């Protein structure tokens, strides 16, 4: 639609109108089919309920496997189509390319993500790898070792903590090699990896780095391209797994015979690296929890990206709706959930903004 298009045009219905009803229908269909796969495996479409100590609550049947295989075939074709659409609408648009490669949304940081034993992108297994702003490996560790590498800074004006790399320390909301700020996003996962584990995703991975000219890529908006590469990988991997002879094995749970009192799990959420750390008492009751979720990992970088975009886009204090949208693009690249989670049924989010001067005196209070 264009970043400065009127806000009444920046919605799903206008997007479908732009690309055509057939394309919009295909998007909705493939999203629905993927949710059906989650429901088959996990018991429900959103927030699956199949996880139990030692495994999962049920195996998939042969008929479910066959259905998943058919869905996966279609999802792979949909991924190819999506990459082509992205190429036509975004990469062939010089204005969009200038946004992606320009200075407004570029921030140099460290990057973090899970990799397998060949340093390829992995979503749920392997080790956490960190590279510096030049792409050199800075650290590689097991999820259970995260506290040796990550610390969390607290500011009095926000409930959300600022994680940073312990070995460098907290230097504030600044980028560069001397700052402990890192990013854990789809683009970060590709930046820390040396490739993808499936052929179509690998080909697009190589194309992205060739097109944008360097690795790591510091362009925040390139995160959307990285998402499409991961979408392709996920579709290919689903097809591989659906054809694995072991996928219908009924042995889906090993009953625990010990009583652990501490555990750490690390996986990749779509938004970035997700760390869960639990401690329990002898009865198995949780007594201590530390969660560093994807958006928390990216909190410092999100803050920096918003500030940078605002400083470079707002001229003489004039903020048009299009300019505001372009500032918001800086954080929506990190977490698409923000775009939806900030909406309410009446169509407005209750909001009060207080503006202070340098001495702490209230200048303005704005309410919506």
pLDDT digits (tens, 9 = 90+) for 9-27: 888 888 888 888 999 899 9
pLDDT band, residue 4 (cuts 50/70/90): confident
- What does residue 99 show for φ and ψ, rounded to 5 degrees? -65, -45
Domain count for the chain, please give it. 1
> Which pLDDT does position 352 carry in this prediction?
83
Query: 215 and 191 in contact (C-beta within 8 Å)?
Result: yes
pLDDT digits over 52-66, tens only? 989 999 999 999 999
Opening angle at CA 207, ends 202 and 211, nearest 5:
155
pLDDT band, residue 349 (cuts 50/70/90): low
- For residue 247, the domain's CATH number is 1.10.645.10
Q: What is the pTM of this model?
A: 0.90
Rounded CA-CA distance 338/331 in Å is 8
Supply the range of the domain harboring residue 360: 1-368
Asked if pLDDT for residue 366 goes beyond 90, the answer is no
């Amino acid at each position: 639609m264009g970043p400065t298009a009127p806000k009444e045009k920046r919605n799903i219905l206008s997007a479908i109108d732009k690309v055509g009803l057939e394309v919009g229908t295909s998007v909705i269909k493939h999203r629905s089919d993927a949710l059906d796969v989650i429901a088959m495996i996990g018991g429900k479409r959103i927030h699956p309920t199949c996880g139990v100590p030692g495994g999962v609550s049920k195996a998939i049947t042969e008929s479910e496997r066959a259905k998943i295989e058919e869905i996966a075939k279609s999802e792979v074709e949909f991924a190819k189509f999506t990459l082509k659409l992205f190429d036509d609408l975004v990469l062939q648009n010089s204005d969009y390319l200038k946004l992606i490669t320009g200075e407004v949304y570029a921030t140099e940081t460290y990057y973090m993500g899970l990799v397998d034993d060949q340093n390829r992108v992995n979503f749920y297994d392997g080790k956490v790898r960190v590279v510096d702003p030049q792409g050199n490996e800075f650290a590689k560790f097991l999820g259970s070792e995260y506290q040796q590498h990550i610390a969390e800074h607290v500011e009095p004006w926000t409930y959300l903590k600022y994680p940073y790399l312990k070995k460098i320390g907290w230097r504030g909301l600044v980028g560069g090699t001397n700052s402990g700020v890192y990013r854990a996003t789809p683009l970060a996962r590709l930046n820390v990896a040396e490739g993808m584990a499936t052929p179509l995703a690998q080909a697009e991975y190589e194309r992205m780095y060739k097109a944008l000219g360097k690795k790591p890529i510091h362009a925040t908006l390139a995160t959307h391209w990285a998402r499409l590469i991961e979408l392709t990988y996920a579709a290919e991997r689903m097809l591989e797994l659906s054809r694995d002879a072991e996928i219908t094995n009924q042995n889906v749970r090993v009953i625990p015979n010990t009583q652990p009192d501490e555990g750490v799990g690390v996986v990749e959420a779509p938004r970035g690296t997700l760390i869960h750390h639990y401690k329990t008492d002898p009865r198995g009751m949780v007594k201590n929890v530390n969660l560093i979720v994807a958006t928390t990992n990216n909190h410092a970088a999100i803050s920096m990206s918003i500030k940078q975009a605002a400083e470079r886009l707002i001229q003489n204090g004039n903020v048009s709706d299009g300019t505001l949208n372009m500032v918001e693009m800086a954080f929506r690249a990190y977490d698409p959930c923000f775009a939806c989670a900030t909406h309410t049924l009446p169509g407005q989010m209750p909001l009060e903004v207080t503006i202070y001067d340098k001495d702490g005196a209230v200048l303005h209070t704005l309410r919506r």
